A and B are shown apart, each in its own frame.
Chain A
């Protein structure tokens, strides 16, 4: 782990324990009012909830190399990435609780988080964040800026046209974009071998003449090292990279997923070595001992608890607000002058 500094290790650990604890807390809040008979529309957090426990290393390892100016697009499972990207945790939480002060004033919800202050966006449709990430990279290139874009997707999304077309567009224009596949083996109930040939997403890079990197375990340090190279390549104007990281799905696809399709042994695999424990041992080796890590965890937990308490105190949106925000400008557009009189009202005869 030669190239990753202790400061970076510490920062990644903070992101990862924040994300893990955040989702544990969200899970508790989400289940309120949904037992004993699970009703997806009940409780303080209604709707689908896709948790990312076991995916944190990809978020922390890649975002460690990004600034607020860099763009990230996340899929339907976005919390860990949003946290690592520096999305406002309180307002994100308020959004998930559907509150007026949420990032999107309650219109988006957990799959549709937007924080333009740190150039973060997500889409609930598989792989559809890839083209906008390419667009952010295109904008950076056209403006001669050094920012890069990162598109996250799951391994289930690697056979989507939006992803494959984005790889090609990014490659032919040498755009500063990094595609990060979080490979948790499962597209809801479908194991990757059943739906993807080859199942390793990084090999898609071969067909598009770009570097493809496979990281075989959810090792934040290894992800960070690979991301340093990929982000550096992009910033230097040397084009896109495709990364695929093996992670573990510790939860169902969504809360309420019975996972009856999933073998017990597979469900337990993540326990062999958890990514956070793996990073903790790297920190230990770098001289950050358990006391110090305990402090990091306590601070992270406090921040999460504060965000959740704050969010729950926020007001719900007024129903009539549902009718606002369809457009940024008025429906008439930005026109501020009266139509030219001689051309108006005569059916264009004077033209």
Chain B
């Protein structure tokens, strides 16, 4: 855990600090999105930035995702460092060509003669009955398509360091922040995402998972909101003498296979927890990587994810499909001898 030092901050505050610092240091960084100026971002991702930087650099844009996200691609290819916010990851369908045929592929199609140094920030996740069109994480969708680095912070400390790195990166980075973790007044966050955050800028390299809790008996690999749910389950299981290691992936592309393998070699038991759809996704991918690299390492394996249905609205239905800490606890128990 690398969150010592500094004062406590919410994840949104940490993000805003990173954006503000990069904008102060580099005139070519600017932010585009819907309701990012006067409102400060529906999920507080740009809270307070308008007063320092004005509408020219904290740009409210038409509800035309194809146009403004595509414009970010174009400005990035000119060497600027735009940050474009897609209000909900669910809205990706409106602008997918610009994301996966332009932003994600132009570097490769140009033989790396062109780079696209932009960040796509986007809000993800459910748990508040916003139903099928506003609750997805789509982690696997973005990570599946080559050409995008995919970042999913779970704490304020990570959020800041990863965002600094994202803005400075010469490649397109999709930075997916979970609404439930931001510390928004009207959507109370669980304990955990609010952490100590140093005042000064720092970067966290992509491809370095973080062991949020060390343990000897079973490895839980997860990300975003479910890092905190897994930690809650781990705390409960500790009372029963089950020692759980919790790995926060932090980035999906690149994926830190080494940290996962090292842990699994120690524990021999793996639980992968995702807030995305079960099939063709993160859980299967992580398990495959382990099995490919160390076919004999696993004595038991479980996975938890959304069971291949769109996210339902009613509370009992949504609770059924999004894994909670009890589900994680049960899955971990399943892996125990």
Contact = CB atoms under 8 A, between A and B. Distances in A.
Interface residues of A, number: 51
Contacts of B320: 319-320, 322-323
A47 B311 CA distance: 13
Contact of B128 (A40, A195, A196, A317): A40
A319 B62 contact: no
Nearest to B59: A194
Interface centre among A38, A41, A159 (most CB of B within 10 A): A41
A125 B317 contact: no
A128 B94 CA distance: 9
A23 to B, nearest CB: 18
A160 B91 CA distance: 12
A157 interface: yes
A2 interface: no
A187 B312 contact: no
A46 interface: yes
B314 A107 contact: yes
Interface string A317-328: 111111101100
A160 B60 contact: no
Contact of B35 (A38, A124, A190, A325): A190
Contacts of B60: 189-190, 194-195
Contact of B316 (A38, A95, A256, A319): A319
B134 A48 contact: yes
B131 A195 contact: no
A9 to B, nearest CB: 35
Given A256-B186, A322-B312, A322-B317, A47 B94 contact: no
Contact of B187 (A41, A161, A196): A41
A125 B93 CA distance: 10
Nearest to A128: B94
Nearest to B188: A39
Interface string B112-152: 00000000000000011111111000000000000000000
B6 interface: no
Given A111-B133, A188-B42, A46 B316 contact: no
A37 interface: yes
B286 to A, nearest CB: 24
Number of chain B interface residues as a range: 35 or more
B133 A123 contact: yes
A323 B129 contact: no
Interface in B57-88: 60-64, 66-67
Contact of B63 (A102, A157, A325): A157
B188 A37 contact: yes
Contacts of A38: 185-186
Interface in B2-42: 34-35, 37-39, 42
Contacts of B39: 188-189, 260-261
B315 interface: yes
Contacts of B317: 98, 106-107, 317, 319, 321-322
B102 interface: no
B316 A48 contact: no
A232 to B, nearest CB: 31
Given A46-B315, A321-B317, A39 B187 contact: yes
Interface of A: 37-41, 46-48, 95, 98-99, 102, 104, 106-109, 111-112, 123-128, 156-157, 159-162, 187-190, 194-196, 256, 260-261, 316-323, 325-326
25 contacts: A37-B188, A39-B187, A41-B128, A47-B129, A47-B131, A48-B134, A95-B313, A98-B315, A99-B314, A102-B314, A109-B313, A109-B314, A112-B132, A112-B133, A125-B93, A159-B62, A160-B94, A161-B66, A187-B63, A188-B35, A190-B38, A194-B60, A319-B319, A320-B320, A322-B320
Interface of B: 34-35, 37-39, 42, 60-64, 66-67, 90-91, 93-94, 127-134, 185-188, 307-310, 312-321
Given A189-B39, A321-B317, 6 more contacts: A40-B186, A109-B130, A111-B133, A190-B35, A256-B186, A322-B317
